[in-house]
Amino acid sequence: MNCPEWEERIALYGGGDLPPNEMAETDRHLAQCAPCREFAQGVNWSLAIVRSAHSEPIPPAAFTALRARVLEQLARERRPPWRLAWIVPLVAAAVLTVTLVLPRRVAPIRTAVTPPPAPLFEPVAPATDEPITPKRPPRARRRPKPRAPAEPLMVKLITDDPDVVIYWIPN
């Protein structure tokens, strides 16, 4: 090609992308320049080749896979609230267990704890101007009253299904 300055304009001409005045100008040039006509034919030919290659169908399996992936992802994004629903009764049961059962078991152990021995020497407080308040006599620790044997604890778990109620009786 002898007219490199026409290359890009001819490339646009081939695809019909030139404004009308430039289109006419390019027409006139092509009419008198054989190498540019050949170049223009080459542009059209290469465009035809790539268009025909692009228009060939993509395998249907690729679309099926794409659809499945997208819909699966959307379904997964919707799922969490329902998937976590079972946690609510479980947490409720755990809270009930902690509040009702554990205090009963821990209470007797607490009574067995003896107070630490009194120090041999009372620590001497530094001299200050503040009035010294008399110490209160230590309180006698109350012994817990012996309890009557507790009734067996029963936890009732209510599920979403009205026909299903779970009773739990811990030892």
Partner 1 sequence: MEPLALLLTATGMDNPEDRARTVAAAKAGDLQAFELLLRQHERLVLATALRLLGNLDDAQDAAQEVFLKLHRNLAKVQLSGNLTAWLYRVTVNVCHDHHRRRPETTAIDEAGQLPGTAADPHQELADAERKHALDLSLRRLSERERTALVLRDLEGLSTAEVAAALGSTEATVRSQISKARVKMKKFVDHYFRRRS
Which residues make up the interface to partner 1 (CB under 8 A)? 7-9, 11-12, 14-15, 17, 39, 42-43, 45-47, 49-54, 56-59, 62-63, 65-67, 69-71, 73-75
Nearer to partner 1, 16 or 152 (CB): 16
Nearer to partner 1, 70 or 165 (CB): 70
Phi, psi of 129 (to 5 degrees): -80, -10
User: C-beta of 80: minimal distance to partner 1 in Å?
Assistant: 15
Q: What is the 3-class SS of the chain, one letter each residue? A: CCCHHHHHHHHHHHCCCCCHHHHHHHHHHHHHCHHHHHHHHHHHHHHHHHHHHHHCCCCHHHHHHHHHHHHHHHHHHHCHHHHCCCHHHHHHHHHHHHHHHHHHHHHHHHHCCCCCCCCCCCCCCCCCCCCCCCCCCCCCCCCCCCCCCCCCCCEEEECCCCCCEEEECCC
Centroid of chain to Cα 153: 39
User: C-beta of 70: minimal distance to partner 1 in Å?
Assistant: 5
Nearer to partner 1, 74 or 107 (CB): 74
Q: Are 138 and 116 in contact (CB under 8 A)?
A: no
Nearer to partner 1, 65 or 85 (CB): 65
Nearer to partner 1, 24 or 50 (CB): 50
User: C-beta of 162: minimal distance to partner 1 in Å?
Assistant: 27
User: C-beta of 95: minimal distance to partner 1 in Å?
Assistant: 34
- Give the CA radius of gyration of the chain: 46
User: C-beta of 109: minimal distance to partner 1 in Å?
Assistant: 55
